[in-house]
Amino acid sequence: RKAVVRISTGSQALDELLGGGIETLSITEAFGEFRSGKTQLAHTLCVSTQLPIQMHGGNGKVAYIDTEGTFRPDRIVPIAERFGMDAGAVLDNIIYARAYTYEHQYNLLLGLAAKMSEEPFRLLIVDSVIALFRVDFSGRGELAERQQKLAQMLSRLIKIAEEFNVAVYITNQVIADPGGGMFISDPKKPAGGHVLAHSATIRLMLRKGKGEQRVCKIYDAPNLPEAEAVFQITPGGITD
């Protein structure tokens, strides 16, 4: 049985909400509107994952699949400096790939799994997990096929998390809830339907607060207390 490793988000409040950080052997999903901090959290995790275990890191490499072209290596530099790490070395330990179609995204996962059997990885990021599916299956009547392919992708992610003891961090979009109706004040929900709901181990709902403040709430977990964590986005990454 592999031991769970908890990787710091950079914010103590957020780590506490998560019980110590994002966990290996599971899928952590973050969803929220544009600029809610999903990608910034990914950038911070790229660095914190490489910290030693006693510094709340994962002591491992990072694999990053980017479907929207929003990874910024330049952003990694001040984040690495904040944690007292060598930025060049940190960048060398991030294996980055841009995906252009959902099939490409799937094939990249297969390639990364091969790499993970050779080198110690602790984090796999897919930012965003669903964007290409929404483009590639945009037609009417394609929803069933989309969900089937999405389920295949997510089951591959779960296998990778378990086989290599990595944390999987995926981002998702919000969509209008067609069942919301006029009396519900915030008729928004994560995309991906039941398939994504059942695959994610923990779902984080991010929203904007004042200025660079962001608020994270654990979504749809009846066995966890309703709690929120406030964090900040700074040049040094996610912090309290």
Residues in the site for ligand ADP, rule: CB under 6 A?
Answer: 32, 34-40, 212, 233-235
Q: How far is the CB of 107 from ligand ADP (least distance, A)?
A: 24
Q: Is 172 in the site for Mg ion (CB under 5 A)?
A: no
Q: Name the H helices within the chain.
A: 12-17, 38-48, 73-82, 87-92, 102-116, 131-136, 143-164, 193-199
Name the nearest CA neighbour of 170 among 115, 236, 105, 117.
Answer: 105
Tokens representing 208? 């904007």
Burial class (CB in 10 A: 0-12, 13-18, 19+), 80: buried
Q: From its phi and psi, is residue 19 left (phi > 0), alpha (psi between -120 and 50) or beta? A: left
Asked whether the beta carbons of 16 and 7 are under 8 A apart, the reply is no
Which partner in Mg ion, ligand ADP, none is near 233 (CB below 5 to 8 A by kind)? ligand ADP
Which partner in Mg ion, ligand ADP, none is near 34 (CB below 5 to 8 A by kind)? ligand ADP
Stretch that binds Mg ion, among 17-25, 46-54, 70-78, 190-198 (CB under 5 A): 70-78
Q: How far is the CB of 212 from ligand ADP (least distance, A)?
A: 5
Q: Which is nearer to ligand ADP, 5 or 229 (CB)?
A: 229
* Residue from 24, 28, 39, 44 binding Mg ion (CB under 5 A): 39
Tokens representing 220? 């749809």
3-state class of 133 per DSSP?
helix
Q: How far is the CB of 223 from Mg ion (least distance, A)?
A: 29
Q: How far is the CB of 206 from Mg ion (least distance, A)?
A: 10
Stretch that binds Mg ion, among 63-71, 83-91, 186-194, 200-208 (CB under 5 A): 63-71
- Is the four-CA dihedral 37, 43, 45, 51 of positive or negative sign? negative
Q: Which is nearer to ligand ADP, 26 or 70 (CB)?
A: 70
Q: Which is nearer to Mg ion, 5 or 206 (CB)?
A: 206
Tokens representing 162? 């378990």
Residues that bind Mg ion (CB under 5 A): 38-39, 70
